[in-house]
Structures are given as C-alpha cells and as structure tokens.
Amino acid sequence: MAVVTALTKSLGQHCAKRLKPSIFPHKFPSNHSQCQFQILRTLILEPSLSESVKLHRLPDSDSGIVEVNLDRPGARNAIGNDMLRGLRQAFEAIDGDSSAHVVLISSSVPTVFCAGADLKERKKMTASEVHSYVNYLRSTFSLIEELQIPTIAVIEGAALGGGLEMALSCDLRICGENAILGLPETGLAIIPGAGGTQRLPRLVGKSIAKELIFTARRIGGRDAMSMGLVNCCVPAGEAHPKALEIARDINQKGPIAIRMAKRAINEGLERDMTSALDLEEECYERLLNTKDRLEGLAAFAEKRKPRYNVTITDLFACWTCKLLFM
C-alpha cells in the first residue's frame, strides 16, 4: 500500500507540473503513460492539507459536479499560506480526476466569499517571502483558469483583492445582490498581483478596469453584472442555487465537447482569426470519433436524454489535443 501511495504522489507531482505557467511541453511527452495514469486518479486519493478548504463531490444525479468550499470564518476566508496550499492541492486533484465535469468555488462563511490575502500573515513576511507567496498565488489561479472543465465562482458578500482575482480566474461568476467586489491594492501602495491587472480588463474593458484598479472602488452585484464582471446577479442568498442550476445544465452536456469548447474559446481569443479557426477545426475533429457524439445523435433521434460516458481514450485524446497547440 505504501508503494502505491508513493507512486500516486510521485505521478501527481509530475503531472501537476505541466499546469504551471510557461512550462507546458511543446511536443508530445515521452512519459505520457504516467500522465495517463494521473487521469485515472480520483479525489479519494487526495487527503486534505488544509482545514480551511473542503473538497467534495455532489451525490447521485449531480455526480460530476465538484465543490471547493472556503471555510476560514475567523479570517473572513483570507488566503494565508495554509489555505493557499489547500487550494493548490484541491485543484491539482480535480485536474487529475476524470469523473469531474464542473467545479463550484463557494464559501461557507456568511457575508463573505474571500476577503483576499491574509495581510496579518503578510505583515510578518520579508519582501522575498511576499514575492514567493504572490507568485504561488498567481500560479494557483492560473491553474484554476487552465482546468479543462468549467469553473463557477459562487459569490455572496465580499470578494476583494485576491478573492476577486480567484473569481476572475473562473469561467463563470454568479453573485448575490449583497456582493461587494473590488481590487483595493492601490490603497495599500501595491497592485493586484495574482492576475487582476490582466483578467479584469479582458472581462470589462481597459477603461473600466483602469478606473476600478486606480480608485480601488468597490462595486455591488448589480453594477458588476451591468459591466460584465459577473454572469448573473440574483437576490442575496440565492447565488449557490443559481450556480448549481447552471452546473447541472452543463453537467448534462457532452463532457468532452465541453472541454473542447472551453479550449477553443480560451485559446482562440489569443490568436488571429485564421489560426483560431484552425484550432476550432482541430478541436471539432477530436470529437468525431467519440462515443459521446454517436450517443448524442442517437438520443436526439430517439427523443430521449443522452447518456454520456467518458472513456479514458476520449479523455486522453482531449488532453493530447491540448498538447498539440502548446
């Protein structure tokens, strides 16, 4: 058993490295069999390193939906070193779990999603330690963004600084009317350092992003929706049910198709139109020989709900498509 545990940990560390910014392989790796083993892992093999981050699956009909829950009430979910390690491990586990189809990031702390970095911890850090912390935070949020499956931030209450940057790294953001969102860093004589200066303008435009960052202004849920910062704003307390409704809708679709669609959109936006359309063609081609595509056609003809069943072959084809475009 000890040997299996050590092997799993080793392979997990190996494959997690491919998710760090700027170190993806540029050709198909010779040790791809190890990463194929990694795809077979499930969340049960991942013990929690942090009591402030809970990782669990939704049961029964919601199988495929995974929830990452922030639970550090004494610090308003401020991201200290322990929580950051827990977040990193949670998303590395999800990345290696072939049965995960949608991720929710939520909070169990009333009136707060995440208050940002733990400034009490930061006050005790040297400049070098702060630099390392921010780099690790940035790469962790990049890991969230690079997950092949959809991610949804469930925002009730405050999402400030690093908390908003974490939400920005998600594909979708659902908030309650009581949400307070902002990047207050310039008020502390620093700048958003975990992706905020790059992801915010890509969502709301350069001018609005500059205003929000320069002034450190906080906005409510309705204003956030009007400027495109969040996808939906619902009455306070109803963000989680709305996010779950969207997650269930996604979870019923072809899981490999969802992965390919996410890749085509994310990668395509960074390319010229000709190259982006080539990417779309390649991602579409990867779906042609999947059992899911045939099941979707059969279900349509028979007027029934499709029963999608992801195979390792399909998932591996999806993963290799990602490598081809690095």
In a domain, 142, yes or no: yes
Sole residue written with tokens 């010229």: 272
Q: CATH number of the domain that 62 lies in? A: 3.90.226.10
Number of domains in the chain: 2
β-bridge partners, 227: none
Percent of the chain's residues with pLDDT above 90: 66
With 60 as the cut, is the pLDDT of residue 256 above it? yes
Residue type, 165: E
Strand 65-70 relative to strand 53-57, pairing: antiparallel
Domain match, 74 and 128 both: yes
What's residue 294's pLDDT?
Answer: 75
Tens digits of residue pLDDT in 175-233: 999 999 999 999 999 999 999 999 999 999 999 999 999 999 999 999 999 999 999 99
Residue that has been written with the tokens 């999402």 in this structure: 159
Greater model confidence, 315 or 224: 224
Instruction: Answer yes or no: is 174 within a domain.
Output: yes
In the listed set 231, 251, 271, which residue is the last one of a domain according to the structure? 251
pLDDT reported for residue 318: 56
46, 67, 156, 165: the catalytic one is: 165
Nearest to 18 by CA among 27, 84, 255: 27
Domain co-membership, 173 together with 296: no
Catalytic site residue 2?
no
Contact indicator for 110, 70 with CB cutoff of 8 Å: no
Residue with tokens 């349509």: 300
Cβ atoms 147, 103 nearer than 8 A: yes
Mean per-residue pLDDT for 25-46?
38
Regarding beta strands 151-155 and 172-176, do their DSSP bridges make them parallel or antiparallel, or are they unpaired? Answer: parallel
For 39, 58, 92, 313, 321, the CA distances from 30, given in Å and listed in that order, are 16, 36, 22, 18, 16
**Residue 5 placed within a domain:** no
The answer to whether residues 245 and 306 belong to one domain is no
Active-site annotation holder among 185, 193, 243, 254 = 185
Q: In the annotation, is 165 catalytic?
A: yes
Q: Which of 217, 235, 251 is the last residue of a domain?
A: 251
Active-site choice (117, 159, 209, 264): 117
Domain end call among 251, 268, 299:
251
Do 278 and 243 lie in a common domain?
A: no
Kindly state whether residues 87 and 216 are assigned to the same domain. yes
90 and 235 assigned to the same domain: yes
**Residue 228 forms part of a structural domain:** yes
Contact of 91 with 149, CB cutoff 8 Å: no
So what's the pLDDT on residue 171?
Answer: 98
Average pLDDT for residues 17-32, to the nearest whole number? 34
Residue-wise pLDDT for 84-120, tens only, equals 999 999 999 999 888 999 999 999 999 999 999 998 9
Active-site residue among 96, 161, 162, 176?
A: 162
Q: At what angle do helices 206-215 and 196-204 cross, to 10 degrees?
A: 130
Q: Lowest-pLDDT range, 26-30, 198-202, 309-313, 316-320?
A: 26-30
Residues near 175 by beta carbon (within 8 Å), at least 6 away in sequence: 155, 156, 159, 181, 221, 224, 225, 230, 232, 233, 234, 239
pLDDT greater than 50 at residue 25: no
Question: Where is average pLDDT lowest: 36-45, 61-70, 281-290?
Answer: 36-45
Q: 316 with 246, same domain?
A: no
Lowest mean pLDDT among 54-68, 195-209, 311-325: 311-325
* Residue 117 bears catalytic tag: yes
Q: What is the pLDDT of residue 311?
A: 59
On the question of pLDDT at 326 being above 50, the answer is no
| pLDDT at position 255 over 50 | yes
Is residue 262 pLDDT above 70, yes or no? yes
Do 174 and 221 lie in one domain? The reply is yes
Query: What's the mean per-residue pLDDT of the chain?
Result: 83
pTM of the full structure: 0.81
Decide if 281 is catalytic: no
Instruction: Determine the Cα–Cα distance for residues 143 and 266; give it in Å rounded to an integer.
Output: 14
pLDDT band of 300, cuts 50, 70, 90: confident
Q: Domain range spanning residue 275?
A: 253-322
pLDDT band (50, 70, 90) for residue 6:
very low
Would you mind telling me the total number of residues written for the chain in this entry? 326
The pLDDT confidence band at residue 301, using thresholds 50, 70 and 90, is confident
